[in-house]
Amino acid sequence: MTHDLSTLTAGRIRDGIAAGDFTATDMAESALARIAALEGDVHAFNEVTAGLALDAAARVDDLAAAGEPLPPLAGVPVAFKDNMNLRGTNTSCSSLILESYSSVYDCTAVRRMLDAGAVPVGKCNMDEFAFGSSTENSAFGPTHNPWDLDRVPGGSSGGSAAAVSAGMAVLALGSDTGGSIRQPGALTGTVAMKPTYGRVSRYGVVAFASSLDQIGPFSKTVEECALTLNVICGKDPMDATSVDMPMQDLAATMRDGVEGLRVGVVRDLMALEGCDPRVRACTMDAVEVLAGLGAEVGEVDLPSCMYGMPAYYIIGPAEASSNLARFDGIRYGHRAEGAEDVMDLYLRSRAEGFGPESIRRIMLGTYALSAGYYDAYYGQAQKVRTLIIRDFEKAFCDYDVLVTPTSPTVAFKIGEKSSDPVSMYLSDVYTIPVNLAGIPAVSVPCGLVDGLPVGLHLMGRHFDEATLMRTAYSYEKAAALDMRPPLASALGV
């Protein structure tokens, strides 16, 4: 029997399996059937892992049949961004240079999901090596937004966001370097979380910018987001940057409400040119909801965050240039034919394997790190990063949560910004400062503009995911928005 996954939460699935209402195999087959029906229109996946899903579901059903306690994500169909290693799959990063690379080990966050009983249904499309804000930079074609198939789902984790939005997976993991979880979350009407840098192990994720990257979840509800964070967060000896910092049970504390919570609207960022006034209005309407729930609302400025965009596009490409040097046609990935010598092999392999945006960022990063320019560019960008960190520290002396829109616009048309990199980069203007500072942030749906989702961006102190979950959950329950895209009903699924 198949079930409509767009109406089932992770908690309902686990409880239903425990009660015998359905089986984990039912859930896996439902997800695979939905993928078969919708994938041709959405293209959320680079690889569908039916065998792995059914094997994992069978193990959960065996536990249920034996009367054993079920783990927290038992039988829940999940998807993973295609820069996360999972044995039995390819990990391509949506790039020709890694098209045939087979994972030989598991990403720690992926393994924690599987150990919690999750059922892996596939690896999701993305911007190549996570370089982009629209999932148009994939070597395997763009992902389409389930709310409007002519529009982008955001990026770089657009496939993961689209899979959850369309109900092809109940949960998904993405990676966020400058907004690559939260921005597609906003554009697809999903809950999308970037934890504090170091909360989640980066082991097994193909690195973009190692000082910025962080794994986080996509879900339909805040409660599912909290449940997923409980599973994937925690110290990992395989990642020296992961932090041994105890965290409250987020699912248990998120119902504590926002009475007396201090919410600061970031005035200077809200006033940025390029933000759709209707998006700004949705954001302020959401702030009014929080005020009505007892939150104390005020305004704050983060002046150094105005320079976050240029600082990020020096630091990110610089680290990417270093991280991607290993993909040279010799140690990993695509190897060009007919090379005359080692240098020719190196040049041809990278030219054939990398797409235009990857080449652009590698060149930018290499230039910023080159002799004579390091201090002028990379060194200066790191100084700006320090100023941004200080601005946030000052703001959090007065406020518990800071608020902006997640994205300055709703989802734009496929191809609309692909020829204008700067315009594309501005899609992350609200999210980038968070990565530079290393703080946690969540995007939660807060309304529609022209029938397309808008995201409310909530930012918190380092390691204070609990307050963000409380705030997001309180807003979600009070707003009671229906964020199911029209795609499923239009296709009769």
What are 318-368's pLDDT values in tens digits? 999 999 999 988 887 889 888 888 899 888 999 999 999 999 999 999 999
CA distance linking residue 337 with residue 334, whole number of Å: 10
Q: What is the DSSP string of 307-362?
A: GHHHHHHHHHHHHHHHHGGG-SSSSSS---SS-SSHHHHHHHHHHHHS-HHHHHHH
Residue 49: pLDDT over 90: yes
Instruction: Give the amino acid at 181.
Output: I
pLDDT of residue 490: 52
Contact between 80 and 123 under an 8 Å Cβ cutoff? The reply is yes
Residue 70: pLDDT over 90: yes
Helix (H, G, I), strand (E, B) or coil at 217: strand
CA distance linking residue 137 with residue 143, whole number of Å: 10
pLDDT of residue 404: 98
pLDDT tier, 98 (very low <50, low <70, confident <90, very high otherwise): very high
Q: How buried is 259 (Cβ within 10 angstroms: 0-12 exposed, 13-18 middle, 19+ buried)? A: exposed
CA distance linking residue 378 with residue 359, whole number of Å: 19
pLDDT of residue 115: 98
Q: Report the pLDDT averaged over residues 394-418.
A: 97
Between 110-114, 323-327, 446-450, the lowest mean confidence (pLDDT) is in 323-327
| Residue whose C-alpha is closest to residue 458's, from 469, 448, 447, 449 | 469
Which 3-state string (H, E, C) describes 360-428?
Answer: HHHHHHHHHHCCCCCHHHHHHHHHHHHHHHHHHHHHHHHCCEEEEECCCCCCCECCCCCCCHHHHHHHH
Mean pLDDT of the chain: 96
**CB 278: neighbour CB atoms within 10 A?**
15
Task: Calculate the alpha carbon distances from 461 to 186, 400, 466 in Å.
Answer: 21, 7, 10
Task: Give the tens place of pLDDT for each residue, 170-201.
Answer: 999 999 999 999 999 999 999 999 999 999 99
Structure tokens at 293: 């729930």
Residue 480: pLDDT over 60: yes
pLDDT of residue 62: 98
CA distance linking residue 247 with residue 230, whole number of Å: 8
Neighbouring C-alpha atoms within 13 Å toward the C-beta of 398: 14
Q: Which are the catalytic amino acids? A: 81, 156, 180
pLDDT of residue 248: 86
pLDDT tier, 488 (very low <50, low <70, confident <90, very high otherwise): low
pLDDT: which is higher, 6 or 430? 430
**CATH architecture of structural domain 5-261+465-490:** Alpha-Beta Complex (3.90)
**CB 307: neighbour CB atoms within 10 A?**
18
Contact between 180 and 157 under an 8 Å Cβ cutoff? The reply is yes
- Please list the residues that pair with 119 across neighbouring strands: 77
Q: Report the pLDDT averaged over residues 81-85.
A: 98
Helix (H, G, I), strand (E, B) or coil at 176: strand
pLDDT of residue 421: 84
